Amino acid sequence: MINVKEELARLLNEQVADLTSEEIEGMIEVPQNSEMGDYSFPCFRLAKVLRKAPPLIAKDIAEGLSGNPMFSKVEQVNAYVNMFIAREPFVKEVIGEAMAKGDEYGKSDVGQGRTEIVEFSSPNIAKPFHIGHIRSTVIGNSINLIHQAMGFKVIRINHLGDYGTQFGKMIVAYRHWGNEDDVRNDPIPTLLSYYTKFHVEAEKDPSLNDEARETFTRLEHGEEEETRLWQWFRDESLKEFGRVYGMLGIEYDSYAGESFYSDKMPAVVEELREKNLLKESQGAEIVDLEPYGLTPAPILKSDGSTLYITRDLACAKYRKETYDFYKNIYVVASQQNLHFQQLKKILELMGYEWAKDIVHVPFGLVSLEEGTMSTREGRVVFLEDVLNRAIDETREIIKEKGVATDNIEEIARQVGVGAVVFNELSNNRIKDYVFNWKQVLDFNGETGPYVQYTYARCASVLRNAGEDANDLKDFDPGYLTEGSAYTLAKEIYALKDVIIEAGTKYEPSILTRHIVDMAQAFNKFYHDEHILTDNKDERKAKLALTSAAKTAIRNGLKLLGMEAPERM
Ligand code: ARG
């Protein structure tokens, strides 16, 4: 499809050769008031180069552009060139392309097939997969999908927290007080209760701590019994995580978590030592980062055991060697800002030029509204329960609405899960937010159900059109150049650029916002205009626009990780 701004920049460049096309593109504005044109070019900056008053420059450029078929009108107003896009060819092209490309509409090739790693979710084994995990999981998945649509080759990694001294404690607790059936029946809460019990008991009997340390050392050395238990805890936990990923439609290329790097750490520690980066501090070994305004990073504890950052160093090196990534993206809470600054700095000090390609995408906290959800006296709220409750409530809502479908379960699932996902991706990621049920499931607000409902409405219009909707290719764009129809076409046109912007800024909420804009534009068009009118040509044009809107909304939702129901 034509890139309107690029094309404009090219044309303007013929008029003002003193700036590059890129510079010109950056100067083009979109006026707030559409009476000032679809695009506007300010000439102030040219005055110096051309030694002419800006209004005169604008006048010359406007004259040079007039008569070009891309514009219906080009005007000089003071120092501005106001350009009005010739609407018919524009609308024809946008809608034609959305209909022809279908699922591919909105994709680009800015990524040029480069390999990127998107690491997201990465929960800790044997700990609850709770509402707080929704953030990395859903934001990360959307960044993954958006980057794929931008033409990157994305490797999706779940860096499981499956290593560390806590597994020594858990194994000890299991041996003393555990029961196999309990673990099998309800793995995570059971394992968590062992972990809690361990801490209570260790208060009374500190020798348990020594036992746990020894047990972890045995695990590190790959002793059979410890490894078997650890593997079992890991498998049981993964089953639970897997259920949630299944509900969210999330898939991974690799579950290489912390334990995967256990045998790769000695080499990194050795390398740090060779490069003279290790320093002794109270028996431990650290990398001093004070000269860079960062707190020291502990690499080895006094007992020789490794730390979280040691594993991340080994991991980053492994990923570079294995995937030769263009970017290595970590979607991890902002509480870990310091950790990633340290990681990046140490890799830089090690002399790795690719340290600059490490990208930490942080996000704020989600909290629960008091009262609306029982945290059962300090007990955590499982993400799975949140999704199930959303599905249950959605089922009730659609039953009440009396939706004609024989597939209520499927729709309740698509809409319920979608509502939670959409809500998660509505806020600027760095902001803290409060999870609010009323807001999540509001069918009229700027929510997932609202957008999905709009999508289903597009589908229903096309269904009701019957055979008329079969061949829309040769529609007459003349019916779509005014009012809400034209506004909708412009929103559909913007999708590709919005996807690129959201991906470049690692900010899915930009896309979420635009999907709401498209849905609102469609609903305005739907209310303003009679789509299935008697005039055959007009009906065809309006159906073509409806079909394009349907495609654009669906493609947008997909990149959030949401499904789009045909009926609702
Ligand atoms: N498991 C960690 C946590 O739950 C997150 C892991 C982040 N990724 C990383 N490569 N350090 O806090």
Report the C-alpha gap between 327 and 118 in whole angstroms.
Answer: 8
457, two tokens: 């409405």
The pLDDT value recorded for residue 404 is 67
The pLDDT value recorded for residue 3 is 83
Ligand 1 cavity residues, CB under 6 Å: 119, 122-124, 159, 161, 312, 330, 332
Ligand 1, atom 4, lies closest to the CA of: 123
Contacts of 385 (CB under 8 A, 6+ apart): none
312 CA → ligand 1 middle, Å: 9
Q: Which atom of ligand 1 is nearest to the CA of 133?
A: 4
| Annotation says 130 is catalytic | yes
Separation in Å, CA 376 to CA 172, 197, 241, 297: 28, 19, 21, 38
| Annotation says 133 is catalytic | yes
Ligand 1, atom 1, lies closest to the CA of: 161
Q: Which of 120, 122, 158, 380 to mutate to test the pocket of ligand 1 (most atoms within 8 A of CB)?
A: 122
Please provide the DSSP assignment of 263-290 as one string. Answer: GGHHHHHHHHHHTT-EEEETTEEEE--G
The single residue of 5, 59, 101, 127 carrying the catalytic annotation is: 127
290, two tokens: 């004070």
Nearest to 279 by CA among 293, 300, 295, 265: 300
Report the C-alpha gap between 386 and 41 in whole angstroms.
Answer: 50
Nearest to 500 by CA among 40, 106, 183: 106
Contacts of 447 (CB under 8 A, 6+ apart): 419, 422, 423, 426, 439, 440, 441
Nearest to 150 by CA among 180, 116, 122, 179: 116
Ligand 1, atom 11, lies closest to the CA of: 312
332 CA → ligand 1 middle, Å: 7
46, two tokens: 């040219």
The pLDDT value recorded for residue 378 is 53
Low-confidence ranges of the chain (pLDDT < 50): 372-377
| Annotation says 127 is catalytic | yes
Q: How many residues does the chain have?
A: 568
Pairing mode of beta strands 327-331, 115-119 = parallel
Report the C-alpha gap between 15 and 52 in whole angstroms.
Answer: 14
The pLDDT value recorded for residue 189 is 86
161 CA → ligand 1 middle, Å: 6
The pLDDT value recorded for residue 364 is 95
160 CA → ligand 1 middle, Å: 7
The single residue of 92, 130, 327, 514 carrying the catalytic annotation is: 130
Ligand 1, atom 5, lies closest to the CA of: 122
C-alpha triplet 125, 359, 294: angle, nearest 5°: 85
The pLDDT value recorded for residue 48 is 86
Enter the pTM of the model: 0.94
